[in-house]
């Protein structure tokens, strides 16, 4: 019903005017399509060229990874603290141990996908975080991870993620056992791989649980006998302790190193060993012990006749002898577990505390030379421990006591760490001053690497040659980048060729449409000339008309592009999987303003030429000829 009045209204409009309106609308539509085509062609040609330049000058090209896979060649080189590949342009070198663990990640749809969880240390975490928006370094003790953009798209394509569920699986009696952990996502890094980054300690704990070295997933205890002991000292207090002098009733025995395999139930250092081990070890000559004599003081002769003691308290101290250097001289240290260690009874104590902690030492008095024992308390000394490769490390210790023994005394935890370092089972990080268990870092699926960044593109090849000359296994992307650069140059040249051809074709088409429109209006021009209108006035009228059409078409094309481009970008992202930056036209910015202005000028110019040339040729004829 509403269309009938509109139809009646259109009938009142002269036929010629209606025809001119339709023709002008078609010309505006064609010019708008021309404008949009030229803008898109120019933008994608421009970004293709930029993308080519980005491939050639990519920062990934400068990222060179040097790996050490032979544990016997590591020494202290794994820190790369002295690595200087270029004299004038020193490198930014970060060394870090890495660990790869295969885990499962739960998607938003409830599916499980297999991914690699990579354990990294703080430096690498910071390096990753600096490349992210909203990322930060991982905090030890928290369940935090950094994930890649590729993994985010697979976990939850609909939006960002703040938490992910990680499943760790191991085989128990040929059946899979899985534990799941919910971890916070504190950063997302741009990577074309599905990977999760966590702290090295987290990856190591997961690997220990998978390999049945730990009873719980994170922070579990190892199920292995205590290692590296030279011998074990056992101390007992018999039932009749109150009746005799403690010094006279202390029984001591040495268990040879092989006996340490009988101590799998020992917890910590020097605590809770089964009584059967003690009864097996404590044997003395003499008559059997009489329980009735417990309340009487025994003579030395009677004590010597004790054959077996039924212990009520036991202390087993693992003993480790460590060779160390103090200055230019070689000395020995003996391990002790602290205040509970009954070795103090057989080690005459001169001065200082009886409580020894990690990082402390009770020095042998003869090492003080002419200095007074009391003056040594609180002093810091540095001892040297030599590793299997002949390289030594310097370890600071605080003097808390002085003993008359010929050997110094250190905490058992320190002695065990140094012994493992001497056996090649521990690594020493000079930058942090800490020992790292080599067996936990360097095993199947793990490696130690240094990430080096060349100071410029020209220094990439010298850096690679220097690292390879030092015996490192070097991984770089130089060859791949060169191939990609050649491919990018070829593709960009081809795209630019098509873009240039398209621009010429579109401009010619726009001018041809104007030409045909003017040719269809030659009779109108002849009538105007017959009425005395000048040729210049007729040409100016046509040129103004086509300029107005070009400007209106540019506005229409810009509006349509602003509406259609987001849909186009999403379609291309889903089908081709390329980056946002390549497929979006940033309107109203300095990057694209020159494209819009240039395209507007090309559209108007092509239409002006397509209008002016046929008009000028037609107006050379007489009005009678034009009206025919």
331 and 398 together in one domain: yes
611 and 497 together in one domain: yes
362 and 329 together in one domain: yes
Rounded distance, CA 538 to CA 527, Å?
11
Q: What is the pTM of this model?
A: 0.36
- Tell me the pLDDT tens digit for each residue of 388-429: 777 788 889 999 888 887 888 888 778 888 887 887 777 776
Please state the domain count of the chain: 4
| φ, ψ at 367 (rounded to 5°) | -75, -15
* Three-state SS at 56: helix
In a domain, 7, yes or no: no
262 and 281 together in one domain: yes
In a domain, 71, yes or no: yes
Q: Tell me how many degrees the CA angle 304-310-315 measures, rounded to the nearest 5.
A: 95
194 and 238 together in one domain: no
The DSSP secondary structure of 78-93, one letter per residue, reads GG-TT--S-SSS--EE
Rounded distance, CA 355 to CA 231, Å?
22
In a domain, 47, yes or no: yes
122 and 164 together in one domain: yes
Q: Domain of 132?
A: 63-221+441-478
In a domain, 4, yes or no: no
77 and 213 together in one domain: yes
Rounded distance, CA 499 to CA 48, Å?
11
Q: Which residues of 405-436 are buried (b: 16+ CB within 10 A; e: fewer)?
A: bebbbbbbbbbbbbbbbbebbbbbbeeeeebb
Distances (CA, A) of 309 to 295, 386, 437: 15, 42, 41
Check residue 224 and give its pLDDT.
41
392 and 341 together in one domain: yes
In a domain, 384, yes or no: yes
Among residues 459, 450, 457, which one has the least CA distance to residue 87?
459
The DSSP secondary structure of 539-600, one letter per residue, reads HHHHHHHHHHHHHHHHHHHHHHHHHHHHHHHHHHHHHH---HHHH---TTSHHHHHHHHHHH
In a domain, 277, yes or no: yes
| Domain finish residue from 258, 286, 317 | 317
What would you measure as the largest C-alpha separation in the chain, in angstroms?
Answer: 154
619 and 489 together in one domain: yes
Tell me the mean pLDDT per 10 residues along the chain, length 628.
53 61 72 72 65 46 55 38 37 55 84 84 55 63 82 78 88 84 84 82 81 69 48 48 37 32 34 33 36 41 45 52 86 73 54 79 84 84 84 88 85 82 74 62 48 66 74 68 63 66 68 69 72 76 77 77 72 55 52 70 74 72 68
122 and 25 together in one domain: no
* Three-state SS at 601: helix
Among residues 245, 252, 249, 153, which one has the least CA distance to residue 195?
153
- Tell me the pLDDT tens digit for each residue of 159-196: 678 888 899 988 887 788 888 888 888 888 877 788 88
147 and 241 together in one domain: no
| Domain finish residue from 296, 317, 338 | 317
Around 118, how many Cα atoms within 13 Å sit in the side-chain half-sphere?
20
In a domain, 95, yes or no: yes
In a domain, 436, yes or no: no
523 and 618 together in one domain: yes
């Amino acid at each position: 019903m509403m269309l009938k009045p509109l139809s009646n209204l259109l009938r009142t409009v002269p036929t010629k005017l209606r025809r001119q309106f339709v023709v002008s609308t078609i010309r505006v539509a064609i010019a708008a399509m021309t404008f949009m085509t030229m803008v898109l062609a120019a933008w994608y040609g421009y970004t293709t060229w930029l993308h080519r330049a980005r491939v050639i000058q990519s920062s990934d090209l400068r990222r060179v990874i040097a790996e050490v896979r032979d544990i016997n060649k590591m020494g202290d080189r794994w820190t790369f603290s002295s690595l200087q590949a270029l004299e004038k342009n020193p490198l930014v070198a970060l060394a870090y141990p890495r660990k790869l663990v295969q885990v499962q990640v739960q998607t938003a749809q409830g599916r499980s996908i297999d991914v690699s969880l990579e354990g990294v240390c703080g430096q690498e975490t910071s390096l990753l975080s600096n490349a992210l928006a909203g990322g930060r370094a991982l905090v030890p003790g928290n369940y935090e991870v950094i994930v890649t953009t590729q993994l985010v798209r697979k976990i939850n394509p609909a939006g960002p993620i703040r938490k992910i569920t990680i499943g760790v699986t191991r085989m128990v009696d040929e059946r899979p056992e899985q534990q799941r952990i919910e971890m916070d996502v504190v950063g997302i890094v741009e990577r074309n791989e599905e990977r999760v980054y966590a702290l090295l300690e987290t990856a190591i704990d997961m690997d220990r649980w998978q390999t049945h070295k730990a009873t719980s997933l994170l922070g579990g205890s190892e199920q292995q006998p205590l290692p590296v002991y030279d011998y074990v000292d056992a101390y007992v207090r018999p039932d009749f302790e109150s009746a005799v002098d403690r010094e006279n009733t202390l029984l001591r025995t040495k268990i040879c190193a092989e006996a340490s395999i009988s101590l799998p139930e020992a917890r910590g250092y020097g605590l809770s060993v089964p009584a059967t081990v003690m009864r097996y070890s404590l044997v003395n000559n003499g008559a059997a012990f009489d329980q009735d004599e417990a309340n009487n003081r025994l003579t030395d002769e009677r004590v010597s006749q004790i054959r077996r003691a039924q212990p009520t308290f036991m202390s087993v101290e693992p003993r480790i002898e460590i060779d160390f250097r103090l200055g230019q001289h070689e000395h020995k240290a003996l391990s002790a577990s602290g205040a509970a260690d009954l070795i103090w009874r057989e080690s005459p104590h001169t001065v200082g505390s009886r409580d020894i902690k990690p990082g402390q030492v009770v020095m042998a008095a003869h090492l003080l030379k002419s200095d007074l024992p009391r003056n040594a308390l609180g002093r810091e000394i540095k001892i040297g421990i030599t590793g299997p490769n002949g390289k030594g490390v310097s370890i600071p210790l605080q003097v808390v006591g002085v003993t008359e023994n010929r050997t110094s005394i250190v905490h058992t935890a320190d002695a065990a760490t140094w012994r493992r370092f001497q056996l090649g089972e521990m690594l020493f990080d000079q930058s942090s001053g800490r020992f790292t268990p080599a067996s936990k870092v360097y095993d199947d699926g793990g490696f130690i690497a240094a990430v080096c960044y060349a100071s410029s593109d020209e220094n990439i090849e010298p850096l690679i040659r220097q690292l390879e000359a030092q015996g490192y296994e070097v991984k770089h992307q130089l060859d791949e980048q060169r191939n990609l650069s050649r491919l990018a140059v070829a593709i960009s040249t081809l795209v630019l060729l098509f873009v240039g051809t398209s621009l010429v074709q579109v401009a010619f088409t726009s001018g041809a449409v104007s030409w045909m429109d003017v040719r269809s209006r030659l009779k109108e021009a002849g009538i105007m000339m017959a009425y005395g209108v000048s040729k210049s006035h007729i040409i100016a009228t046509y040129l103004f008309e086509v300029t107005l059409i070009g400007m209106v078409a540019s506005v229409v094309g810009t509006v349509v592009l602003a509406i259609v481009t987001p849909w186009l970008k999403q379609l291309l992202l889903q089908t081709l999987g390329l980056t946002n930056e390549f497929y979006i036209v940033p309107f109203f910015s300095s990057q694209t303003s020159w494209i819009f202005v240039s395209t507007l000028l090309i559209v108007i110019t092509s239409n002006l030429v397509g209008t002016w040339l046929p008009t000028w040729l037609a107006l050379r004829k007489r009005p009678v000829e034009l009206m025919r």
